[in-house]
Amino acid sequence: MTYTPDAIRAITLSTLRLPLSVPISDAKVFTGRQKPMTEVVFLIAEIETEQGFSGHGFSYSKRGGGPAQYAHAKEVAGAAIGEDPNDIQKLYSKLLWAGASVGRSGVATQALAAIDIALYDLKAKRAGLPLSKLLGSHRDSVRTYNTSGGFLNASLDEVKARATQSLEEGIGGIKVKVGLPDSSEDLRRVRAVREHIGDAPLMVDANQQWDRATALRMGRRFEELELVWIEEPLDAYDAEGHADLARALDTPIATGEMLASVAEHERLIEARACDIIQPDAPRVGGITQFLRLMTFADQAGLDLAPHFAMEIHLHLAACYPREPWVEHFDWLDPLFEERLETRDGRMIVPNRPGLGITFTDQARAWTTEKVTITA
């Protein structure tokens, strides 16, 4: 049996605004750097081919940048029309050069991520395989931890109740946000959660809001709580500071979610700035770039815990040679017909073709702009 070349017939781009049920606050709100988050803006790419195959992917932005992603994608997507959808790396390069004047990170590549992810979804569906199996997985389930229940806008009682619920639902670990102006309150909350959940895996996340001295002091205070990791203790681009902290503390350091290119992560890796790297496929440019980054991280002996977008990252984490973590968020539930299963502390990789997700009617109703690009 020989392969008959296919061609991309149309790319439909849309943007939607997902409202959050309550305004969300992390340490960046308490330091005055950001306002509470009330919505997440998504860029959706849906690709159709001449032979009738289709795939969809998404990128996203929190607080700012969503309209810019949509505008850039509209400008460059036409470069993929008529091309073979199976040539994903070639297409990524072509789209990158179509918008080269605005660079190779940030909005420029986040706009491409939705298209790149859609191409992988399409290719896996064509093969009749879950994306993880197309890429070559190491496991059929991944350790998982909950983040959406541990934000600073929630009272301690609410955090503990959500932690109980998460563990009862088969989620393995609990992450709690820290970085309040009053460090003693951080310690009180985290100690209370540790006592509440016993020896279940526990992580904390400062969202870049400590300076070097505070991070070291807090890291030492947290040592007794046997945390799985301390996340983003310093500014995301302070590779040297993270490296010093990683050497000074027994608790592993995790960071990387805010970086917007493979090159930025390479600097982190070369500096030995973390024990656990946390890339985000939509932020670094899609699956093509994420796979490059996984190779670098594995070569450096790092653990992996991708940020957000579990519907994408579950498949990618399943392909990492070392045992990874995947972050459980329930915010995106209204967007998809399917639910990811959690059991015994792990998230089960779905056996549906591609990413295994279908957008809901509600997602369509939240769409604010849409365009279809053809020849």
The catalytic site residues sit at 177, 307
Is 333 annotated as ligand-binding?
no
Which structure tokens are listed for 277? 């790297």
Cα-trace Rg, the chain: 20
Is 123 annotated as ligand-binding?
no
Report DSSP state, residue 36. Answer: P
In Å, how far from its chain's centre is CA 261?
13
Is 175 annotated as ligand-binding?
yes
Which structure tokens are listed for 197? 């959940």
Helix (H, G, I), strand (E, B) or coil at 201: coil
Which structure tokens are listed for 38? 């009330």
CA atoms of 25 and 181, how far apart (whole Å) = 13
CA atoms of 239 and 272, how far apart (whole Å) = 8
| CA–CA distances in Å: residue 212 to residues 219, 233, 314 | 10, 8, 32
Backbone dihedral region for residue 247 (phi beyond 0: left; psi -120 to 50: alpha; all else: beta)? alpha
Is 239 annotated as ligand-binding?
no
Is 257 annotated as ligand-binding?
yes
Is 327 annotated as ligand-binding?
yes
Is 90 annotated as ligand-binding?
no
Is 125 annotated as ligand-binding?
no
Is 62 annotated as ligand-binding?
yes
Is 39 annotated as ligand-binding?
no
Is 369 annotated as ligand-binding?
no
CA atoms of 195 and 185, how far apart (whole Å) = 15
Q: Binding site: which residues?
A: 26-28, 62-63, 175, 205, 207, 231, 257, 327
Q: Binding site for Mg(2+): which residues?
A: 205, 231, 257
Q: Binding site for substrate: which residues?
A: 26-28, 62-63, 175, 207, 327
